[in-house]
Every structure is written in C-alpha cells, then in structure tokens.
Chains A and B, each alone.
Chain A
Amino acid sequence: MPILSVNKLTKSFGGLTAVSNVNMELEQGELVGLIGPNGAGKTTLFNLLTGVYVPSSGTITLTKDGKSKPIHGLKPYTICKEGLARTFQNIRLFKDLTVLDNVRIAMNQNVKYGLASSFFHLPSHRKEEEKLLHDAIELLKIFKLDHKKDELAKNLPYGEQRHLEIARALATKPILLLLDEPAAGMNPAETAELTELIGWIREKFNLTILLIEHDMSLVMKICERIYVLDYGVVIANGTPEEIKNNKRVIEAYLGEEISNV
C-alpha cells in the first residue's frame, strides 16, 4: 500500500491551471525526485500536499500505520501532525530565534504538558522540557549544529541554514519528508555532502522522501524514481535511466524544435 497517493489532483488560479490531473504514488521508504522546467508547478504541488493551497479537485491520501486518511483540504498544521513535513525553496527559518528554538518549535506538537502545569511549574512541565531539550540537541548533533545551538538562525552560513531547515522539518517527526530544492545555491562539494546526508537520514528515520531539485547530479544519484512535471502535467514517471532517455522529457527541457532537428 502506497504511503502517499495522489489522485487526479488539480489546482487552478483563475484561468491558469497550475497543477492538472496529477496522479502520484509513493511507497514506504522510497526516495523520489520531482523535476521539471521553471514554472512547471512543482512548488504548487508541494503547497497542495502540505495544505497551503486547497486543491480545486482531486484527492490526497496519506497512509500511516496501515490506516489511510484523506488529507486534502486539511489545515497545514493538521497535515503536519499527520506526518508530512517540508523545507522551503527560499529558506524560511525563524531568523531571529536561536538554532535550538527553531528545532524546539517544530517539536511543540509532541509536547504533552498543558498550560496549567507550566503555570505552577509542575514536574511534568520540567520533565517534558528536559526531554525536549535533549531530543533537540540529539537532532542538531546529526547536522553538526549542536555547538551552534545558541546562535541566531540568521547568523548561520547559508549551507548550515539549509541543514537547519531539514533538522527543523525532522523535528516534527514526519513519515514523509518533502524537500524543496535542498541543494539550491550550494557548491558541488556541499551538494555531494548533502546527497549523502539525505540518503542517511532516510535510513535513520525510516522516511519516505520526495524532493524537488534542479541539480541533476543529486537527483540522478539518489532518486529511485522520478516524476517529471511540465505545465502542471506529469509527463513522465520512471527510473533515472528511463527519464534520461525519455523523449518528452528532453523536449520539455530543451524545446521541441531542437529535438526535431
């Protein structure tokens, strides 16, 4: 049973159909790439999956612990609780908060204590806060950010901000992670390191990952399957080998005229 199944998903803005009749299935543990030319609707699709936009039609079903649940039309914070987390194309950290608080905020939903117990400083408050701190630091260690936990997020170098975004997304305890251009703006060495990191967190956290990326070295290296989007329509779906040789994909990227020559 697929962990995520998208059925005939469509989103129109006025006369423009940004995502049209998209079908997509992700199996548990898969690492799938989503590519396409600029403006193809990749980020719109992410926004539909995470609840930022409400679909015009179609369904999105998430399967967690063997139970399927439609998530289209739910609020973003509810979808996040259902186990879907994301990063952003343009970094959207809480810039004026510390690295540690960025991660702790994302863990908020898993905290058990209520307001009353924090008011009276009951042991349940202290215990949960200590556990939270411990978990947050463990997570930061994975990304080698634990020694910078008290720095403000905006003062981190670019590459580390990208890492912190992934750490923050993981802090929500997702089963499905959506990465929106994780390697944007990175040099080849950083991209290579990130490629390894993505593969590693998938094993470690038992995740399914869907990623948008323009860096083909990353996509072709780690994705087991690739969806290609063009003008809001899925034009191809297959292994990296198949996609590389797909005529429609080449046309979409290079233009029809050239492939006709």
Chain B
Amino acid sequence: MEQFLQQIVNGISLGSIYALIALGYTMVYGIIKLINFAHSDVYMLGAFVGYFCMTTLRLNFFLSLLASMAFCTVLGVVIEKVAYKPLRNSTRIAALITAIGVSLFLQYTTMAITGPDVRSYPAMSGFLAQSVSLGSIRITMQQIIILAVTIVLMVVLQFIVKKTRIGRAMRAVSLDQDAAELMGININATISFTFALGSALAGAAGILVGVYYNSINPLMGTLPGLKAFVAAVFGGIGLIPGAMIGGYFIGIVEVLVSGYGNSMYRDAVVFAILILILIIKPAGLLGKNVREKV
C-alpha cells in the first residue's frame, strides 16, 4: 500500500508535466485544428533556457521559471507567425508537415548550438532540496513545487479562458472563425495569444522536468511530447479539462507500469492506450462523438 501511494505521488509529478504540455497541444488544436508537433521542442527549449539561467546567469529557480516561460511565449508566437500563419488557408496536411519541419529545425539548431551532450541541471540547494515524509511516503520539495506550479498555472489558465475578454475571443474563434471576425474579433491576435499561452506552459514544464529528472538534451522533447499528445487525445483534443485529466492519467499509468510491471513496457502501454481510445471513443474521454449526418 505504501509503495502504491509512493508511486501515485511520483505519477502525479510526472502527470503534471504531461498535463502542462498537453494543454498547449489541445489549445492550439482547438483554435486552428493543427497538431503542433513543434510544441514538444518549445518544451525542450524551455528546459535549456532554464538551464542557462540557473548555471550561466545564476538566477534562482523562480526567476529562471519566469524567464523560460517568457522565452517560450515569444518563441511560440514567432513560430506561429513565421511558419503557420502563411499556411492558414492551405490544407491541414501542409500545416502538419510544416509543424514536423519546425520541430526538427528546433531540435537540430539547438544541437548545433549546445552540442548533443546530455547536461545535468545544477543540484537544488536550500529548501528546494528538502523532502517531507508522511509515514514511509517521501515527497520531495521538487514534487511539491511541480504540483503547486502546475495547479497555479491551470487556475490562471481557466480564469483567462472563462472570465476574460481574450478568453471569450478564443472560444469564439475556435467555434466559428468567420463569424467571430465579423463580430469584431481580431483573429490573428487571438491565435497568437493562444500560442503564447500554450508555449508559456510548455516552458514551465521544461524547467520543471529539468529540475525533477536532472538531465536535459536537445532531443528530450520527442517522447514526452508524444505522450502529452496521447494525453490530449485521451481527454478529448481541443478540450482544456480533457488535457488536464489526460495528463495525470497517463503520468500515473506510466509510473505504475514501471513500478509494478516492467519499466521496459511503460512507453508501449501509453501508446496502447492511444490505440484503445481511438478504437473505443475516438473523441476522447470528455469529447462528444459527433455522428456524421447523411
């Protein structure tokens, strides 16, 4: 039982990170129906910017977190403007292939600049290195911070989407772009803002992963990116609560498979979940299956 609870604690930490990345996938999909494969590399760059801030600039964790979120926000907006906006009216497959191209571009540009080596994040010191014990369950301060940062960001995101005018504009654009524009909504600004929000969350996820797993490399985005994508599909792509639930579910499943089964299978299980959800409920857990009318 204690081992199980310990695994759940670890799963929640991992799940928080998947959820943060999945939110970016799902928001961008919701608004322009694009699966932004470059998103996982925005997350990777978030980790690298965090690394740079903490080592070279010697900033503390929270300043580094803000810096990497700010960097990723700008990066996300630039990617949208340069790569996706010119293709807004072309086929979806063109934009999708461009997204893969942007992803490779970011990976290998980073590799060219930083080298392909794995780097380790500086060890946490002070209260960030401590841990709390509840009975025999050990919760590290890093895990608490991951969860806290994730919850704060999700609450802020929910507030923006539900209660502010830009959030209303986002929901309107995702439902009917043309009608929204005729109601006075600036489509380009709204789409840019969506990329900015999603990328900021990815940046946060990047630095949290660096702190938690202690190692980063230029190709680190691929697998977590795919798993976060599975999480978004699991919850129902395009739906913000779906991405949160999906992220935690995938994180916990992965940790449980490693803990009780064989850690070799943990990736296979995640993708098996994707296959199952696509067969059983293609619209995702929270999505509505829309039957095509004949």
Contact = CB atoms under 8 A, between A and B. Distances in A.
Interface of A: 50-52, 75-77, 80-81, 85-86, 88, 92-97, 101, 104-106, 108-109, 111, 113, 115, 118-119, 125, 129, 168-169, 171-172
A246 to B, nearest CB: 32
B166 to A, nearest CB: 6
Contacts of B99: none
A105 B182 contact: no
B223 interface: no
B156 A94 contact: no
A172 B179 contact: no
11 contacts: A51-B182, A77-B181, A80-B181, A94-B171, A94-B175, A96-B175, A97-B171, A101-B171, A105-B171, A108-B169, A108-B183
Contact of B184 (A92, A104, A108): A108
Contacts of B182: 50-52, 76-77, 80, 85-86
A10 B5 CA distance: 71
Given A80-B184, A119-B156, A108 B179 contact: no
A76 B159 CA distance: 28
Nearest to B169: A108
Contacts of B156: 119
B178 A105 contact: no
B189 to A, nearest CB: 9
A108 B175 contact: no
B183 A118 contact: no
Contacts of A169: 183
Contacts of A50: 182
Interface in B149-196: 156, 159-160, 163-166, 168-169, 171-172, 175-176, 178-187
A77 B186 contact: yes
Contacts of A92: 176, 178-179
Interface of B: 156, 159-160, 163-166, 168-169, 171-172, 175-176, 178-187
B186 to A, nearest CB: 5
Contacts of A96: 175
Contacts of A80: 181-184
Nearest to A84: B182
Contact of A115 (B166, B171, B172, B187): B166
Contacts of A106: 183-184
A108 B178 contact: no
Main secondary structure of the interface of B (DSSP, over half): helix
A80 B156 CA distance: 30
A88 B168 contact: no
The 3 closest A-B pairs by CB, nearest first: A80-B184, A109-B184, A92-B179
B184 A81 contact: yes
A168 B160 CA distance: 22
Contacts of B172: 94, 97, 105
Contact of B160 (A101, A108, A118): A118
B172 to A, nearest CB: 4
B190 to A, nearest CB: 10
Nearest to B187: A77
B166 A105 contact: no
Contact of A77 (B166, B168, B175, B185): B185
Contacts of A88: 179
B175 A75 contact: no
Given A108-B184, A172-B184, A118 B164 contact: yes
Contact of A94 (B163, B166, B176, B184): B176
A171 B178 CA distance: 17
Nearest to B160: A118
A80 B180 CA distance: 10
Contacts of B176: 92, 94
B181 A75 contact: yes
A95 B182 CA distance: 16
Nearest to B168: A105
Contact of A104 (B159, B166, B168, B175): B168
A105 B181 CA distance: 11
A196 B258 CA distance: 70
Contacts of B166: 115
A122 B166 CA distance: 16
A168 B178 CA distance: 14
A118 B163 CA distance: 9
Nearest to A106: B183
A115 B186 CA distance: 15
A95 B174 CA distance: 11
Contacts of A95: 175
B168 A108 contact: yes
A29 B141 CA distance: 68
B132 to A, nearest CB: 31
A129 B159 CA distance: 13
B58 to A, nearest CB: 28
B187 A111 contact: no
Given A80-B182, A97-B175, 10 more contacts: A75-B186, A76-B181, A77-B184, A77-B186, A85-B182, A85-B183, A105-B168, A108-B168, A118-B165, A168-B183
